[in-house]
Structure 1
């Protein structure tokens, strides 16, 4: 179950991160237009967090740690972009980022699960 949750989240973060990476200057301009401070820095931070998050979630590595900045990224997205559009995902509302936050909170609470690099490394430490 946790593997499925991780893979869904990784997929959900990967494509937006790649889209941002391809045109980071436009993202920075958009961030500036919606009054996000230090738009260039925050464009790189959001993109880097989403890309690193997708990789770590896929591997099941450091999922508790990466969940925190991903949750913060989703909260910022809700406050700056989605809140005014209501709840429905079809209206660019806060539905999807809210679901992501709930899934990330699950990983923060339970870890990456049995099918993860974290678990593999933990078992190897116990054996040694």
Structure 2
């Protein structure tokens, strides 16, 4: 048993770069899309960041929008190539924490409303609106059955109710924390080759 454990540890160590590469490849398009969305809709994003009635009511909305958009968009490319990885994960993690606290926290955990989930019953960040998801879906389907083309609309998947909870942002935060603590990975990042070429004293 100890011999098998040793072999597994050796094998895991040889391939420790792979999950780090996959995390970077997963996060890069997510962050790029989020940043690009803010950049291409900059004025409306500034308005949403600053407006307390229908938005987030944050101070300095222009500055915060610019920082968030550039952090996400530029950060995506740095993650993709594994350049300044640990450095860029810091502002990206801050962005995720701000998103969790200001946008998603009030909606509980679930990103997609699922009344059958144990996470919807108050166990984690209770959101009563999730429990009404089946009624909302039934009403939407009834309207579409009567006035729309429900077969065509559902041909590539089922309708869902967006809950907008912290699930995705928390997942991204954890993935960024992994990159911060473990680095971008050997053999597959600019950081690795720079360190090989210019080792620290």
Report the TM-score, using the length of structure 1 for normalisation: 0.95
Cα distance, 1:58 vs structure 2: 0.3
2:66 to 39, 44, 49: 44
Q: Give 4+ residue runs of structure 1 displaced > 3 Å after superposition.
A: none
Work out the number of aligned pairs and report it: 126
User: Does 2:193 correspond to 1:120?
Assistant: yes
Structure richer in helix, relative to its length: 1
Larger Rg: 2
SS of structure 2 residue aligned to 1:35: coil
1:78 to 92, 100, 117: 100
Unaligned runs of 5+ in 1: none
1:92 to 159, 164, 181: 164
Q: What is the correspondence of 1:5-84 to structure 2 with a 5 Å cutoff? A: 5-33=23-51, 34-84=56-106
SS of structure 2 residue aligned to 1:113: coil
Query: 1 CA distance for matches of 2:105 and 2:196?
Result: 43
Unaligned runs of 5+ in 2: 1-18, 113-162
Coordinate RMSD, CA, aligned: 0.8
